[in-house]
Structure 1
Amino acid sequence: MHNEYLAGHLPTRLKGLDAALCGGIPFGVITELVGPAGIGKTQFCLKLSLLASLPSSHGGLDGHVIYVDTESKFSSRRMIEIGVNSFPEIFQIEGMAQQMAGRILVLQPTTPTEFSECLQKIKDSLLQHHMKLLVIDSMAALVSGRDGQGQCRQHPLGWHMTFIKSLAEFSRIPVVVTNQVRSHSGDDPFHYSFQDSRQNLDFPTTFDSHLVAALGIPWAHAVSIRLVLESKSGQRFIKVAKSSMSPPVAFTFAISASGISLLHDDGIEMTGPEINAICGQVLKHFNVASSINDAHNIKYFRDFEVTVVYSIKNWSFRVVCG
């Protein structure tokens, strides 16, 4: 399979989306995935991480991945399920699962200060370790929160925004950042939907208020590609809301054992307010298939042990990934 590295893109293996983006997720800029909780942003990030770590002989970038997991949503079990179902011929090769797992480093900062330290250490070491993808899942979770009186607040984003953009330009690798959504209404102008523990995931329910990206307009200007993942009328959509390479276009998608897949490769062109609007229904989460528990796949799961770093302050990139 053709290796897209020299073309400056990480193919998503979603044919219609790759065509719209002229090859996939571009190098050297920030690509943002924005949408409500449970829509599939982390699923997308897991699949991209696998694609970046795949051997070049199988169409991957044959490199290391740094996955900054701010909400502890990274799942080795889910990643191996996606890998086994998407690339069975690769995972059947002796030692391949272990080799790919060794290329994925998961960092779990829990405070904005740790996140800042994490970014600085990443930049200091990026070019030394054959890094081919940086994922930050998610930005909004660290910079938003509530104060002692229960009021919503945001930490200053300016430094992080500038630094992450410089990371992308400096390293010339794809940088993928997820962004949550918040409801915008007169009664609760700064309510983040992902902070609402009262959501009932068993029954699809449309949010009453208009959804907007949790990080504001300055952040929107910093990203080069914005992909909105949304749900309406019982279907999931991924739409190219911002790109210099593509007109606004939407694709229906589903989540299965092999990750995200498009239902149709032909996109639906969009015009007017719907380009930037974010629709949200609470949909049932995709459950990890029971097949991951059979004896054949348990072997892969045991081999697929990624490195997770909990203490950012004491982390040495050279020791972990060397």
Structure 2
Amino acid sequence: GIPFGVLTELVGPAGIGKTQFCLKLSLLASLPTNCGGLDGRVIYIDAESKFSSRRMIEIGVNSFPEIFHMKGMAQEMAGRILVLRPTSLSEFTESLQQIKVSLLQHKVKLLVIDSMAALVSGENEQGLPRQHALGWHISFIKSLAEFSRIPIVVTNQVRSRSRDEASQYSFQVQSRDDAVEDPTNFDSHLVAALGIHWAHAVTIRLVLETKSGQRFMKVAKSPMSPSLAFPFYISSSGISLLSDDGIEMTGPQINTIHCQGHSSIINFDGERLQ
């Protein structure tokens, strides 16, 4: 599960399932306690306009049919999720100030920010340094988690690693014949966006990736769990683990982000799942 009172980050390439993860979490937080939920409200900051109420209801109907087939239940669950769509980092900043008040007044049990990288990228285009843009927000979001004692989940994008960055990793060694590696044979050229200061600020980092067509969720950083990888899939019921038994990881594979053999997922209504 996602722990309370800390900042949890989801990192992965587009289409891997970050938003699907957030939708399923939002649904669980809003469900009644007798159904395994938190019986609360959710604030969902949708910076990339990926939130879909139709997809949310689809997940609910297929995951909890006994609840969602009750008259009016789908509308009630949807009404517990407040979706905000800031178009800039400054709008997001204003939203955070309002959210701090709402957390206690409105029985909020989960805050989702999808995605932080999208908000910051707009500021970078205007010439504002990334770390300057993020500094205050890192501190404020962490304080929100500690103050409210609720889970805060933030999604992060990936970017290509530069040649200079790649040389910093000791596990990348040059081949004996000095040949240039074929990128199709080595796909770990992706790193999390937002930089090292952000990486240190998050309490838990979950990496979503694909290897040979199989999706994995890796616990890359956590003070309460060993480094494990869990195979998962996405269906009409949302994101689900194939097994509760994680695969132990060691060395550089903990932090690498693979996107090997990955293709977009299409749901039953023909929509692309993110």
Match of 1:138 in 2: 115
Match of 1:268 in 2: 247
User: Is 1:281 matched up with 2:260?
Assistant: yes
1: CA distance, partners of 2:87 / 2:270 = 33
1:230 Cα deviation from its structure 2 partner: 0.5
> What secondary structure does 1:144 align onto?
helix
Deviations 1:131-157 (A, max 9, x none): 000000000111124637xx9963620
Match of 2:100 in 1: 123
Could you tell me whether the CA contact under 8 Å between 1:82 and 1:259 is conserved in 2? yes
User: Is 1:175 matched up with 2:152?
Assistant: yes
1:163 Cα deviation from its structure 2 partner: 0.4
2: CA distance, partners of 1:90 / 1:291 = 25
Residue 233 of structure 2 aligns with an amino acid whose one-letter code is A
- Where do residues 1-322 of structure 1 align in structure 2 (5 Å cutoff)? 24-145=1-122, 147=125, 154=130, 156-186=133-163, 210-281=189-260, 283-290=262-269
Could you tell me whether the CA contact under 8 Å between 2:187 and 2:258 is conserved in 1? no
Match of 2:176 in 1: none
Residue 44 of structure 1 aligns with an amino acid whose one-letter code is F
Residue 247 of structure 1 aligns with an amino acid whose one-letter code is P
- Over 3 Å counting, the alpha-carbon distance change for 1:215 and 1:291 in structure 2 is closer
> What secondary structure does 2:51 align onto?
coil
**Structure 1 residues not aligned, in runs of 5+:** 1-23, 190-204, 293-322
Percent of aligned positions with the same letter in both sequences?
75
Could you tell me whether the CA contact under 8 Å between 1:35 and 1:41 is conserved in 2? yes
Could you tell me whether the CA contact under 8 Å between 2:210 and 2:258 is conserved in 1? yes
1: CA distance, partners of 2:128 / 2:141 = 24
Match of 2:177 in 1: none
**Structure 2 residues not aligned, in runs of 5+:** 167-183
Could you tell me whether the CA contact under 8 Å between 2:213 and 2:261 is conserved in 1? no
CA RMSD across the alignment = 2.3
Deviations 1:68-93 (A, max 9, x none): 00000001111111111100011011
**Given the two structures, how large is their TM-score scaled by the length of structure 2?**
0.86
1:285 Cα deviation from its structure 2 partner: 2.4
1: CA distance, partners of 2:19 / 2:260 = 17
Residue 254 of structure 1 aligns with an amino acid whose one-letter code is Y
2: CA distance, partners of 1:72 / 1:137 = 9
2: CA distance, partners of 1:52 / 1:160 = 24
2: CA distance, partners of 1:152 / 1:158 = 12
- Over 3 Å counting, the alpha-carbon distance change for 1:41 and 1:171 in structure 2 is same
**Given the two structures, how large is their TM-score scaled by the length of structure 1?**
0.74
1: CA distance, partners of 2:133 / 2:7 = 19
1:281 Cα deviation from its structure 2 partner: 3.4
- Size of the aligned set, in residue pairs, is 252
Deviations 1:265-290 (A, max 9, x none): 21110000111111123733222314
1:221 Cα deviation from its structure 2 partner: 1.5
1: CA distance, partners of 2:245 / 2:100 = 38
- Over 3 Å counting, the alpha-carbon distance change for 1:57 and 1:208 in structure 2 is closer
2: CA distance, partners of 1:185 / 1:251 = 28
1: CA distance, partners of 2:144 / 2:185 = 37
- Over 3 Å counting, the alpha-carbon distance change for 1:206 and 1:131 in structure 2 is farther
1: CA distance, partners of 2:186 / 2:114 = 23
Query: Structure 1 stretches (4+) deviating beyond 6 angstroms?
Result: none
1: CA distance, partners of 2:261 / 2:150 = 33
